Structures are given as structure tokens and as C-alpha cells.
Amino acid sequence: MRLSLLGLMCALLLGGCGAEASARAEVAAASTGIATPAASTAMPVEVTATPTPAPATATLMPPPAPQAAPVVQVVVLQAPKDPTTITPLSRTSGDRIRTVVIDPGHAEDEVGAAASGVVEKHSNLEMAFRVEALLAAQGVRVILTRRADERAYTGQAISGFSATRRDLQARIDLANDSRADLFISIHSNGSLSGADRGVETYYNSQRPFSDQNRMLAATLQSSVVSEMADAGYPAVDRGHKADTCLRAFQGRCFPLFVLGPARVTTRDEVIQRGGSLDTLGFTTVQTATTSRATEMPGALVELLFVSSPEDAALLRGEDSRAALARGVARGILEFLRTTPPRAG
């Protein structure tokens, strides 16, 4: 989902998730359900010919037909029919049904990371469906911030910085309006180096419930890595990390938008980022606007690197995807068992 630790998140998590130039090449055929690998697998062949006398007449033979480049199916967007049974959530009489908001990162023109037949925005959504099915089977109320390749914000058609900011705020508002106990954002990573691999989880340490954020991230990270290992797919454990200064703009640090505290955005910053003041609700005399933060513990999990051929193979595999989903669902259930329901 990033280019070098969130760089491919396409402006999504700071008003975005980072640059997507390489990603867009990978999704050119996504609308048909087929993605072509970024690089051709055909190898050049060197032929050494032995000189022979030229014939009196020559027959022109047509060149051999070029071999078609291999194609890979993009991850199918559907929930598993028979979710694997996982440990039920312990509940006592009178307990409020727990509510979890699952946020499949990216959508529409904001594709996220893309390589080796995996398009992140599609992979994130399919994974969210899997996690939803597993949690619902355990009595958890699950709300997805999107159920198709569309932004959570359903207002006027916009793009760029303004679209991303409105989209992210809509996801946060949905979680708050739902009185959710947890907010979990699902992504996959991207890097300029194909050698970068593994799973990592982010949390924000600058919130009133920062300790819960950290514990949630640690629980998710441990659970996903453990499930992958148990299924025979060892994943590199990159740990759980604070998002305090993942990005910087004009010497100022920014955390992930969906996890961080309320953020002040000035008129000048919107203009510098190519945003629309009207779209973001600025009046003619307004100099800044303040976002609304999530009101519950949250974490963002990066499920492997799309840019790694080895990790991408796991993201295309049914059994390995099932293990990733079990890991996320188990981590959520384990955290819910150790924390009281949200008041109210």
C-alpha cells in the first residue's frame, strides 16, 4: 500500500497514500478482470548463424508468431462461502453486541499498490469480505466503509487531494456514527525494492486511548504472523509501529489520517496540494479547517508487499489469503475479549 512504507498508499493516509505511477500501469486491464505483469517474461535469444552460400532463389518465410505474454487473474471480489471456524467471542448476558468497522483501503482512481497480478484496492476489499464473514459468524456486528470499487464519500465527483480528504473523513464519520468499538483499516504494502516483504501494523500514539491502539496493533500483528506460520506460509514479521511521523510536509510531521488526532489544514496547504477550497468546505474568509478523528481504538494492518513477487504470490493464493483473514479476525476477537464494550 505504500511506496517505501506507505508510499504507494496514494495520498490515502495523509490526504493520500503516496505516488501511484507504477501502480497505474498494473491496473490498465483491471476493469476486465485481468492484469498483465509489469515486466515481460520473454527472454532475448542470441542466435549464431553459420555462413552458407546464398541460394539462387529465396523463399520468404513469415516470422514465428510471438508468444502471448502471460496473464494473471486479479483477486476475485467475493466473500468465502464457508468461513473457517475460529474461537467464538466470549459474551455474557447483557453484553452489548460489539461493532467493528473494517476499512478496505483505497478505491476508484486511488488503486494503491499494484504488481504481479494483484491490485491493492481489489485485494483489500476481498480481504475485508473474508474478515467480515469470520467475525459475523462469531456474533460481531461488522460494518465496511465500502462494498464496491467506490469511495466512501458519495458527494460530487471529485479527484485528487480533495477527493481523498473527503473520502477519508467519510470513513471516519461512518465509524463514529456507528458507535463502533474498533476501526481496522486493511491494506497491503508496496516498495521500490522487490526484496521488501512481510506484515506490519500501525497505530497512533497521540490519542486518549493510545495504549489501546498499541495493544490492538500488537495483537493483530502477532495473530496474522502466527496464522500464516501455522498454515505453512511463514511471513516476515515487521512488527507494530507508531505512525507519529510517517509523512512530512513543510517540516511538519503527519500520522495516518484515519488513525491520527483531529488535523488542522490551512487554506494555503489546500492550495499547495492542488485541492479545492469549496469542496473542503472553506468559506471565503476561513483560513483553516479541522478534521474529525475516530472516537475508538484503531489500527492499520499492511498484509504483505504487493511489490514482492513472493508476497504477491501469497496474496493471489486462496489458502494463504484465508490464513491472512483468520489472522486479522482472531486478532480482533482477542482484543475484544480483553477490553470492555464501548460505553453508551
Residue 135's SS3 state is: helix
43-52, 74-83, 220-229, 248-257: range with lowest mean pLDDT: 43-52
Q: Which three cell numbers stand for residue 4?
A: 517505501
pLDDT at 43: 36
Per-residue pLDDT reduced to its tens digit, 279-302? 777 777 777 778 799 999 999 999
CA distance 299 to 150: 22
| Cell 483468520, located at residue | 326
Q: What pLDDT score does 247 carry?
A: 72
Query: Which is it for strands 141-144 and 99-104: parallel, antiparallel or unpaired?
Result: parallel
Residues 6+ apart with CB under 8 A from 269: 249, 250
pLDDT band at 19 (very low <50, low <70, confident <90, very high): very low
74-88: pLDDT as tens digits: 444 454 555 556 777
Q: 96 pLDDT exceeds 70?
A: yes
Q: Domains along the chain?
A: 97-338 (3.40.630.40)
Write out pLDDT tens, residues 116-133: 999 999 999 999 999 999
Q: Is a pLDDT exceeding 90 seen at residue 158?
A: no
Torsional class of 179: left (φ above 0), alpha (ψ -120 to 50), beta (otherwise): left
Q: Please say if the pLDDT value at position 27 is more than 70.
A: no
CA distance 57 to 49: 19
b/e sequence 104-118, b meaning 16+ C-beta within 10 Å: bbbbebbbbbbbbbb
Q: Where does the pLDDT of residue 67 fall: very low under 50, low under 70, confident under 90, or very high at 90 and above? A: very low
Which pLDDT score is estimated for 140? 95
pTM of the model: 0.75
For the chain, the average pLDDT equals 78
Contacts (Cβ under 8 Å, ≥6 apart) of 90: 337
Establish how many alpha carbons lie within 13 A of residue 187's alpha carbon, considering only the half-sphere containing its beta carbon.
31
Residues 290, 188: Cα–Cα separation, whole Å: 28
